[in-house]
A and B are shown apart, each in its own frame.
Chain A
Amino acid sequence: MANLKTTEKKTKAQSMGLHTEVLTGKTQQKFFNPDEAENFYYWGTYDVDFNKRTELDVNDMDCKEANKKIDELMSQGYGTIVIKNPQGKHSLGVGILNKLNLIFEGSLGYFGVGSIDGPTVRVNGRVGWSCAENMMAGKVVIEKNAGSCFGAAVRGGDLICKGSVGARTGIDQKGGTIIIGGDAGAFTGFMMQRGRIVVLGNVGINLGDSMYDGTIYVGGKIGSYGSDAIESPMTKSDIDWLKRKLKVAEIGEDFNVSEMTKVVAGKKLWNYDALEPTEKKGAI
């Protein structure tokens, strides 16, 4: 409001005739009926009952068939689905956008449970590359090991691997928490932007390389730091948060978190913090 006078004045560009667009200021005046169903319908979501349980054997299905079948079961109200014989197949359980208990009795291949928003997933086996990529919300627990790019670009939720993971865990992470019970490979937290990564074991070389923001906690040895990553002192709030999170995650509850190494971004990008207030980042 303070700049009303300047808005009336033609800018240099306008006086040069570079702007011919007429601004009507009506983009916010799109009226809608609050009772309209389409404004409240979230495509691909279902009302499910967690007590309604079923099993699905995907041994003879390809990933498209299996995912379609899961969708069909959710549309019938099944809230707990147990997948039998996943046999390391790729892209199983992707794109689930509602609350659901999804249990895999076996291992997944690449891109398992990617782009999910809400479900609680347990994999009683191993997962391949890029598990839970782009996850928005929910909880994913892997009982064994995971491949590379674990939790790539996750935006929210908890992603837990009880075993060890490959390289580039949390690459491009934008929120949420990734917890690793074992060791993590090279480039953990590569280009990380938000959120937290907790590794109870050792990490490989180039930890936090090119990270923008976010926090990485390491319980074991660090192979080497990547560019832009630096060590930071542990605070009481870090310790409290770690204790609480590990307890909720049912992993490393007795772990001595105060001995962990905290790694953050050492480089402050000139306009990065202006995007979100610090207190909001802390809440992610």
Chain B
Amino acid sequence: MCGIAGLIHRGKSSNVGQELQGMLQALKHRGEDSTGYALYGDTDGQNFIMRFKVGENVGEGSSSVMEDVSVYDERKKIVDSYLSQMGAKIVKEERILPYSLRYEIDYDKGDLLEFSQKIESIPGVEILSMGKSLEVIKDLGNAKTVCDRYNLGDLVGTHAIGHARMATESGVDIKSAHPFWGYPFSDVSVVHNGQLTNYWNNRRILENKGMRFMSECDSELIAVYLAEKMRNGATLEEGMKDSLSGLDGVFTYFVATKNSLGMAKDTMAAKPLVLYESDDLVAMGSEEIAIRSVLPQEIDTYDPFDGEVKVWQI
């Protein structure tokens, strides 16, 4: 089933980590195999923030294979050496969990495709996000569990999207969890509720064009599809509009960039979405109770129609 939620503050920052936690926790009955956050925090915009994993969460309910923790250290060492080789300087390093790390890096070459390919050539290593504002945090468990585990409650920023997942067609693991980074674009992330039926056809086409897939989760296709459109010069909104005919199946998805937040709903309108819009805040979710967690007072909300695409700027 899965639940998605997102919000964007226009003209101000807020405690988006805590707000999104409340929204996703309200949707936990839609799935709590894993929960993911894409948070756009207030930064000075100087350094890249790279969230990456060197292994999987192999705890209860995970479909991943158990590994010796020592391999995580080995992989981290190789990541560090590759960064050095590419001229990327680690400014700040945090190892939140044995398998999950956050680096602030000084890297001015700007070619994230080559950079990402190099880092992800290390078996077991995946970049969860790369950007100057975006941080993707995803792990097994419900919204509160993940929020507490990664201490996201204090994160201040302008906008965020998130996902509460009920695993259906791929494993219970971090690599299949949402949000997906819009590789190789800085600060692009996607969450999706639905099912894409032309996943394999599109994946073959996109892989032949040099795009990368890290999981077998159909939702990852949206991130890659939009990234490929933007690589060829389309704007985010144009790419999203193309996706209504290019992607087959039922879907409602959110996509966020450094300055914007967008939503798209398929032409069958088969997946739910409730939307609240005001001058200073847009909040949306699979169910109204998600919005209620940030706006408990009586508000006007509505369901976007079939085939609708909307994009808001901060």
**B partners with A:** yes
B272 with A129: CB separation less than 8 A: yes
A151 within 8 Å of B (CB atoms): no
What residues of chain B lie closer than 8 Å to A110, measured between beta carbons? 287
Pick from A109, A185, A205: contact of B288, CB under 8 Å? A109
B267 with A148: CB separation less than 8 A: no
Pick from B269, B289, B298, B302: contact of A109, CB under 8 Å? B289
> Smallest Cβ distance from B248 to chain A, in angstroms?
16
What residues of chain A lie closer than 8 Å to B81, measured between beta carbons? none
Q: How far is the CA of A185 from the CA of B304 in the complex (A)?
A: 9
A128 with B305: CB separation less than 8 A: no
> Smallest Cβ distance from B45 to chain A, in angstroms?
37
> Smallest Cβ distance from A169 to chain B, in angstroms?
11
B300 within 8 Å of A (CB atoms): yes
Q: How far is the CA of A191 from the CA of B293 in the complex (A)?
A: 36
B296 within 8 Å of A (CB atoms): yes
A186 with B267: CB separation less than 8 A: yes
Q: How far is the CA of A165 from the CA of B306 in the complex (A)?
A: 11
**Contact bitstring A81-123, B, C-beta under 8 A = 1, else 0:** 0000001111000000000000000110110000000000000
What residues of chain A lie closer than 8 Å to B305, measured between beta carbons? 166-167, 183, 185-186, 204
A145 with B272: CB separation less than 8 A: no
Nearest-CB residue, chain A, relative to B304: A166
Nearest-CB residue, chain B, relative to A183: B305
Q: How far is the CA of A183 from the CA of B298 in the complex (A)?
A: 22
Report which residue of B270, B288, B307 has the largest number of chain A beta carbons within 10 angstroms of its beta carbon: B288
Q: How far is the CA of A166 from the CA of B305 in the complex (A)?
A: 6
Q: How far is the CA of A168 from the CA of B272 in the complex (A)?
A: 12
A208 within 8 Å of B (CB atoms): no
Q: How far is the CA of A164 from the CA of B269 in the complex (A)?
A: 15
How many chain-B residues does the 8 Å CB contact rule pick out? 20
> Smallest Cβ distance from B289 to chain A, in angstroms?
5
What residues of chain B lie closer than 8 Å to A195, measured between beta carbons? none
What residues of chain B lie closer than 8 Å to A205, measured between beta carbons? 267, 306
Given contacts A185-B303, A185-B305, A186-B267, contact A109 B296 (CB under 8 A): no
B306 with A107: CB separation less than 8 A: no
B292 within 8 Å of A (CB atoms): yes
Pick from B269, B292, B301: contact of A186, CB under 8 Å? B269
> Smallest Cβ distance from B157 to chain A, in angstroms?
25
Q: How far is the CA of A110 from the CA of B306 in the complex (A)?
A: 19
What residues of chain A lie closer than 8 Å to B270, measured between beta carbons? 167
Nearest-CB residue, chain A, relative to B26: A88
Q: How far is the CA of A88 from the CA of B276 in the complex (A)?
A: 13
B274 with A147: CB separation less than 8 A: yes
What residues of chain A lie closer than 8 Å to B298, measured between beta carbons? 106-107, 125
**Contact bitstring B251-293, A, C-beta under 8 A = 1, else 0:** 0000000000000000111101010000000000001110110
Q: How far is the CA of A146 from the CA of B301 in the complex (A)?
A: 9
Q: A147-B274, A167-B305, A205-B267 are in contact. List 13 more A-B contacts (CB 8 A).
A: A107-B301, A110-B287, A128-B288, A129-B272, A144-B301, A145-B303, A146-B303, A163-B302, A164-B302, A185-B269, A204-B305, A204-B306, A205-B306
8 pairs, A vs B, C-beta closer than 8 Å:
A87-B289, A89-B289, A90-B287, A107-B288, A128-B287, A145-B302, A186-B305, A186-B306
Q: Which residues of A contact B (CB under 8 A)?
A: 87-90, 106-107, 109-110, 125-126, 128-129, 144-148, 163-168, 183, 185-187, 204-205
Q: Which residues of B contact A (CB under 8 A)?
A: 267-270, 272, 274, 287-289, 291-292, 296, 298, 300-303, 305-307
